[in-house]
Amino acid sequence: MFGSRDKGIPTAPFGSVFNVTGTQTIDVRDYLDLNYSHTFGDGWSFASRTYYDQANNDGTYVNDYSALGGPSRVLNENFSHGQSWGEEVTVSKQVFGTQRLSAGIEYRDNFQQDQGNYDLQPFVQYFDDRRSTDIFSFYVQDEIHLRKNLILNLGLRYDHYATFGGTTNPRAALIYNPWEKTTFKLLYGQSFRAPNLFELFYDAPGNEADPSLRPETVKTMELAWEQSFAGHFRMEASGFYYPIHGLISEQIDPANGFTFFANAGSLDLRGVDFALWRSLPGGLEAAASYSLQDATDPSTGMAITNSPKHLVQASLSVPIIKRKMFASMDLQYVSKRATQTGQYVGAYAVPNFTLFSRNVLKRWEISASLYNAFNQNYADPAGNGLAENALLQDGRSYRIKVGYRLP
């Protein structure tokens, strides 16, 4: 896979000039995966994955230094370049007729992790950091069939990062099928997010490194009910609770006003999800879902930025010409969300419409889409480091897509 994106940014990130041409980022991502798997006799199976991964980000920011006695327009370059390779091996075995035991190891060598910042003209180097790190992981999983309709799934994973050390995380699932079309799941897990090198070591002017950062941790608890009915109808309902600790967030050093990252927050996320699906042999498909979630800081009780309490999604696809042409609609409703300043952006509902064909002409696929069909005026909360409190989103737009499938 290879992908590249060039994105203009008019919203004045990191103190750059607002709404000028020239501030942009170029993101490049490419990777190669080689996978092999084989099932042997006596219940043994083997899988291996070897991979190479590259990710580059190059940003150009138009700055104004006139208040400091410098030029009114200076191009500042910020970059992060990374390359890695890795190997993962998994072995599993059917044992005792009721269990499948799996074990695996993974090694990842991040042999290039470079980041830096400098002005072009006049050239001034502010930050240049070149590193390499590695990650070693080991995991085991046991799927136990306690009864014909009752499965217990247990797993344990250990990860060792060169930057902060090791972390061990368990998970468990109890899956019960009391009837053919009914499933109940009780799920528990523990996971983490490792601090990245930007958060750990970025030390350009206005920023401070914090090599002592620890991972964010989360415990996930969920109870789910899945039900199928006659007539191609399916339902899912679940309740969840995710306490998150050690959140990595930006802080201000009172001594100099510089920003740095620290494990300075917690988050309690709880809620319920409900979804319905219906599909008919003729091609008609319909779905609707609703999520109610409460995300708060347990120490202050304050709402979390950009976290809606209510989410509604609905979709409908109708065949116009059987198996050849379809009309579809999807609708998304998002309730109000808090911004960085404690204000709120309003709720919105946006419908999108698409007309698409499959094999009306042999091997050709054609679609036409209308997004934000009623030209709804809405905004999303802005992130840290932007000049605006909220970012206005696109109004009505359209896309026409034509594809041809080779023989």
Tokens of 257: 């006003």
Strand ranges in 199-309 using DSSP code E only, listed in sequence order: 216-229, 233-252, 259-279, 285-296
Rounded distance between C-alpha atoms, residue 385 and residue 271, angstroms: 30
* Average model confidence (pLDDT) across the chain: 92
Q: What is the DSSP letter of 361?
A: S
Under the banding of pLDDT at 50, 70 and 90, the label for residue 264 is: confident
Bridge partners (DSSP) listed for residue 251: 260
Whole-model pTM? 0.83
SS3 199: helix
In angstroms, rounded to a whole number, what is the distance separating the alpha carbons of residues 215 and 199? 11
Q: Alpha-carbon distance 11 to 356, whole Å?
A: 35
Q: Give the closest residue to 386 by CA, choosing from 70, 61, 22.
A: 61
Q: Tell me, what's the pLDDT at 236?
A: 96
Cβ(324)–Cβ(359) below 8 Å: yes
Q: What confidence score (pLDDT) does residue 388 get?
A: 84
Q: CB neighbours of 68 closer than 8 A, spacing ≥ 6?
A: none
**CATH topology for 2-404?**
Maltoporin; Chain A (2.40.170)
Among candidate residues 333, 365, 325, the one with its CA nearest the CA of residue 352: 333
Strands 259-279 and 182-193: unpaired
CA distance 378 to 353: 18
- For residues 301 and 321, what is the distance between their CA atoms, to the nearest angstrom? 54
Backbone angles phi, psi at 111, to 5 degrees: -80, -10
Give, in order, the Cα–Cα distances in Å from 319 to each of 94, 323, 328: 45, 7, 9
Tell me what pLDDT residue 302 has: 72
| 19-23, 173-177, 360-364, 390-394: segment of lowest average pLDDT | 360-364
3-state secondary structure of 356: strand
C-alpha span between 321 and 241 (Å, rounded): 45
Sign, CA dihedral 340-345-349-352, equals negative
Burial 195-205, CB ≥16 within 10 A → b, else e = bbbebbbbbbe
The CA dihedral of 119, 125, 126, 128, to the nearest 10 degrees, is 120
Dist CA 145 CA 151 (whole Å): 5
Q: For residues 276-296, b (16+ Cβ closer than 10 Å) or e, as one string?
A: ebbeeeebebbbeebbebebb
Per-residue pLDDT at 304:
84
Share of the chain above pLDDT 70, in %: 100
- Of the listed ranges 65-79, 99-113, 153-167, 299-313, the least confidently predicted one is 299-313
Site of tokens 């960085």? 340
The answer to whether 344 touches 334, Cβ cutoff 8 Å, is no
Residue range 330-346: average pLDDT?
92
Comparing CA positions, the residue from 310, 182, 173 lying closest to residue 235 is: 182
| Cβ neighbours of 353 (radius 10 Å) | 15
- The three-state secondary structure class of 130 is strand
Please give the backbone phi and psi of residue 248, each rounded to the nearest 5 degrees, phi first: -85, 115
| b/e sequence 209-219, b meaning 16+ C-beta within 10 Å | bbeebbbbbbe
- How do the domains of the chain map onto residue ranges? 2-404
Residue matched to tokens 């319905």: 276
Q: What is the pLDDT confidence band of residue 49, given thresholds at 50, 70 and 90?
A: very high
> Average pLDDT, stretch 233-251?
93
CA distance linking residue 220 with residue 193, whole number of Å: 14
User: pLDDT tens digits, residue range 65-121?
Assistant: 999 888 999 999 999 999 999 999 999 998 887 889 999 999 999 999 999 999 998
